[in-house]
Structure 1
Amino acid sequence: MNFELLKPAISEITEHALLSNEEKLKNICQFLQQNISYYNWVGFYFANHETQTLHLGPYVGAETDHTVIPFGKGICGQVAESNANFVVPDVAAQDNYIACSFTVKSEIVVPLFVDGINIGQIDIDSHVINPFSAADERFLEFVNEQVATLF
């Protein structure tokens, strides 16, 4: 996967003057799911620091019951506390994993920072074991840098 070829489209989405931020985030999710074969569920969670919870934002993929996740719970909740990327090559081997679907085999979560504060994250599930590389991490960090300009 040549992620460099995808970067201009991400920038174009975030810079689109006629779309709301919600529409931009949804379009990014759709773009990623359509252009990266192993990105089967793509979504954003946003932090409420007062309640120490994450709240589901725009996403594409199978419906999820996990619309609110406490900090520390599951992969997303751990990223809310650690402020670090978390790659799970095989969710079956992960102790603190919130199962979304039996089809999910791996997950990557990359925090979203605005002015140095972790305001949320991009969360991606895959139906493939161990598809995520350092290149995915760097690309998703770029995606989040672009998304951060919306806030």
Structure 2
Amino acid sequence: MNFENLHLEVIRILSESNAERDLKLKKLCQFLSDSVPYYNWVGFYFANHETKTLHLGPYVGAETDHTVIPFGKGICGQVAESNANFVVPDVAAQDNYIACSFTVKSEIVVPLFVDGVNIGQIDIDSHVLDPFTEADERFLEFVNKEVAKLF
């Protein structure tokens, strides 16, 4: 997958002057889901540091019951605490995984920083075992740097 080809469209979506932030993020989720064949669920979670919880933001994909996730719980909750990318090649091999759907085989979560503070993350589920590479990580870090400009 050549992610360089996607950079300009990410910037264009996030630069739309007539769109609210959540609409831009929803469009971005849709673009990522449409552009990368193994991105089957794409969404954002945002941190509430007082309650130590993550709250579901804009997303594209199957409905989820996981609208609030405590820090430390599941892959997303672990990223909220570690401030580091987390790539899970096979969710069945993870002890601290919150199952969303039996179709999800792998997951990647990349934290979103604004002024050095982890305010949330982009979360991507795949129906494919072990599809995520270092190129996905670098691309999603780029995406989050662009998203951070909205805050």
* TM bin (shorter chain): over 0.9
Q: What do the CA deviations read for 1:59-111 (whole angstroms, capped 9, x no partner)?
A: 00000000000000000000000000000000000010000000000000000
Distance in 2 between residues matched to 1:146 and 1:13, nearest whole Å: 10
Note the 1:85-124 alignment, pairs <5 A: 85-124=85-124
SS at structure 2 position matched to 1:130:
coil
- Kindly state the Cα deviation for residue 118 of structure 1 after the two structures are TM-superposed: 0.0
- Kindly state the Cα deviation for residue 143 of structure 1 after the two structures are TM-superposed: 0.2
Note the 1:1-151 alignment, pairs <5 A: 1-151=1-151
One-letter amino acid of the structure 1 residue matched with residue 134 of structure 2: A
Could you tell me which runs of 5 or more consecutive residues in structure 2 were left unpaired when the two chains were aligned. none
Q: TM-score, normalised by structure 1?
A: 1.00
Distance in 2 between residues matched to 1:52 and 1:89, nearest whole Å: 26
Distance in 2 between residues matched to 1:143 and 1:125, nearest whole Å: 16
One-letter amino acid of the structure 2 residue matched with residue 99 of structure 1: A
Distance in 1 between residues matched to 2:133 and 2:100, nearest whole Å: 22
Could you tell me which runs of 5 or more consecutive residues in structure 1 were left unpaired when the two chains were aligned. none
One-letter amino acid of the structure 1 residue matched with residue 122 of structure 2: I
SS at structure 2 position matched to 1:6:
helix
Q: What do the CA deviations read for 1:96-142 (whole angstroms, capped 9, x no partner)?
A: 00000000000000000000000000000000000000000000000
RMSD of equivalent CA atoms: 0.2
One-letter amino acid of the structure 2 residue matched with residue 107 of structure 1: E
Distance in 2 between residues matched to 1:2 and 1:68, nearest whole Å: 33
Percent identity of equivalent pairs: 78
SS at structure 2 position matched to 1:101:
coil
One-letter amino acid of the structure 1 residue matched with residue 68 of structure 2: V
- Kindly state the Cα deviation for residue 145 of structure 1 after the two structures are TM-superposed: 0.3
One-letter amino acid of the structure 1 residue matched with residue 128 of structure 2: V
Aligned residues: 151
